[in-house]
Copies of this chain bind each other. A is one copy, B any other.
Amino acid sequence: MQEHGHDRCEEQCVHTDVVESVRREMLGSVSADELAQLFKVLGDNTRIRILDALYRSELCVCDITALLGMNQSAVSHQLRVLRDARIVKSRKQGKNVLYSLDDEHVSGLVRMGSEHVRELKR
């Protein structure tokens, strides 16, 4: 049985052939969700500043708090978001918890994003 017909859409202008071919190649809705979720986590000023700092050195929570000049609770909440997304990892050392980037994919993304932003400014 062939796939055809866009029964859930009443538009008239659809370029059927292109649409069909794109439809076959497109990301599944699940993958799109996961990808969007990753970018969503990166899409916050506080979290970007945390990642930018961790890109330069492993740091404990109160170092980060000092660097960002903000509430310790706010920083911990955001670190949790980053940890849950497996973008940063942590290890305990005495009273402190030291955070670092989880892998190089993340720094790659941040570097690439920066480039894009720099491009746009031209």
Q: Shortest Cβ distance from A121 into chain B, in angstroms?
A: 8
A35 touches B66 (CB 8 A): no
| Interface residues in A58-96 (C-beta closer than 8 Å to B) | 59-60, 62-63, 65-67, 69, 72, 86, 95-96
The answer on a CB contact under 8 Å between A114 and B22 is no
- With contact pairs A19-B67, A66-B14 given, residues A36 and B27 touching in the complex (Cβ less than 8 Å): no
Closest chain-B Cβ to A20's Cβ sits at a distance in Å of 10
Whether the Cβ atoms of B15 and A60 lie closer than 8 Å is yes
Binding site secondary structure of chain A? helix
Copies in the complex: 2
A-B CB proximity, top 5 nearest: A40-B43, A39-B43, A39-B42, A105-B116, A11-B62
Taking Cβ atoms with an 8 Å cutoff, the residues of A that contact B are 6, 8-9, 11-15, 18-19, 21-23, 25-27, 29, 31-45, 47-49, 52-53, 56-57, 59-60, 62-63, 65-67, 69, 72, 86, 95-96, 103, 105-106, 108-110, 112-117, 119-120
